[in-house]
Chains A and B, each alone.
Chain A
């Protein structure tokens, strides 16, 4: 089955056409990634058109959409999710949600791995993986606090990956590797493959915001004179 994979939870604007099945075959046929934290709204749709053109297929040839649902900075994340939802709804195909950090954790390698992406405001979105499977998180915290808040000793983490780990390598307290830096479309498709092939019901693409909106209720009105 041809599956469209989208992730917009990090500065990497990702669109891929992936062939899923027969089990356990997952093959990325075409992938476009642009790293630009401010261009999700502009570039995601053209990238979808481009990966479809790369494989000579039309939207109607797609059988499912897999979307990374964050956590991620809100504006870009929402672009990916509204795109996935509207596209799938128009085509009458199901959507499947995958935690974007899993798109890193699943391909980071064996052992205990910290995945951290940039949450801005001097914080990171993070999770801990044991042999590719998430055991803690996702959470959002200051980089120096990430492992400690899990109650897990820092020296039990073998290494860290992700743009958040690279950015805060000096304070994160575990060895940092450069790759993978952003969620992998192939990994996201693999994580949803069983649901896709099993014909699981379509899932709501609920964003993992992890933060409440910034808003303060007004106090007593200020006197002007």
Chain B
């Protein structure tokens, strides 16, 4: 079916959120989510089996909630979209299994889509059609990537990625070090508001000239994480109090500095004037303000969706599905596999 404003239900289970969204073209109709984050908190990270069990329990009720919120039925839909990868294999399989069953039972086309491309597509729900080409910076607990998007329906071109920890992982680890809880992003953001971002000069990974030659658009956060741990431990050994707000602010400044500097550099290198930022870390207040500030100096427009749409959700999957339906892309076969390492060059299976 050809339509400019396809009605699509999206299912997302790549990590610990069971997300189900409904969109009509660029309009968000519903964004239902069930999170198992509290069950993971005591482990200090996402436990795949715990996440998969929670997805199975939450799936049907969350689909119900999304359809009710949107005021539509499965029969009304133009397509069903689901995250096929990348993500936790067992968690992805619950969403993919459910999506296939809904598609089969309701007789609807199925789109198995790329989670990272969905993080880009979700911005259309906030700011309308995406200007192409665009540069996208995706940062979360699972990914830190810089992408060039010429035609979202065809695939995206990876320019760089983290060579060790994801940015969100560094937030989680530093939050744990400072006893701020899990996930680490929001409490570090809060603590940093009362701190001095210039108090401690933490390292900026892969920004030295010799690193830039080989890793111009890549990231590294493991050295930063270790530097923060060393600094805190030295204080502890000396019996001095830890200035939590200053550590949080200085750490956050180092992460945001590298991310935004490389994203702006990518825009300038390729002569592209749109930068989209997505992923859980894009909900961080400092990356939003720093990116906007730096982009303005180079006449680059920054598009960051509202924080709720930055973290994993079903609406982003539905948004990408709607984009693919509108672009008349062929649906996925019913034997589509979940692919925990789905490459960025594949937007749909």
Contact = CB atoms under 8 A, between A and B. Distances in A.
Contacts of A225: 229-230, 233-234
A148 interface: no
Nearest to B106: A90
A46 B100 CA distance: 9
A45 B93 contact: no
A91 B105 contact: yes
B125 interface: no
Given A83-B100, A90-B102, A42 B335 contact: yes
Nearest to B99: A86
Interface stretch (A73-81, A101-109, A176-184, A188-196): A73-81
B177 A221 contact: yes
A85 B49 CA distance: 20
Interface in B211-243: 226, 229-230, 233-234
A83 B101 contact: yes
A41 B93 contact: yes
Given A78-B90, A86-B59, A207-B56, A214 B49 contact: yes
Nearest to A50: B334
A224 B230 contact: yes
Contact of A218 (B43, B50, B64, B226): B43
B201 interface: no
B295 interface: no
B43 A87 contact: no
Interface string B113-140: 0000000000000000000000000000
Nearest to B110: A45
Given A41-B96, A82-B59, A213 B105 contact: no
A190 B105 CA distance: 24
Contacts of A81: 56
Majority secondary structure of chain B interface residues (helix, strand, loop or mixed): helix
Interface string A36-76: 00001111111011000000000100000000000000110
A89 to B, nearest CB: 5
Contacts of B100: 44-45, 83
Interface residues of A, number: 37
B94 A79 contact: yes
A83 B97 contact: yes
Nearest to B337: A42
Interface in B68-112: 74, 89-90, 93-94, 96-98, 100-102, 104-107
A74 B90 CA distance: 9
Contact of B101 (A45, A217, A223): A45
B338 interface: yes
B326 interface: no
B91 to A, nearest CB: 10
B97 A78 contact: yes
A46 B229 contact: no
A216 interface: yes
Contact of A43 (B49, B93, B234, B335): B335
A218 B89 contact: no
A90 B63 CA distance: 10
B42 interface: yes
A216 to B, nearest CB: 7
9 contacts: A41-B97, A45-B335, A59-B104, A75-B52, A78-B56, A78-B93, A82-B98, A86-B63, A214-B49
Return the 7 tightest CB-CB contacts between A and B, nearest first.
A90-B105, A86-B101, A213-B49, A45-B100, A215-B47, A79-B97, A87-B101
Interface of B: 42-44, 47, 49-50, 52-53, 55-56, 59-60, 63-64, 74, 89-90, 93-94, 96-98, 100-102, 104-107, 176-177, 226, 229-230, 233-234, 333-338
Interface of A: 40-46, 48-49, 59, 74-75, 78-87, 89-91, 207, 209, 213-218, 221, 223-225
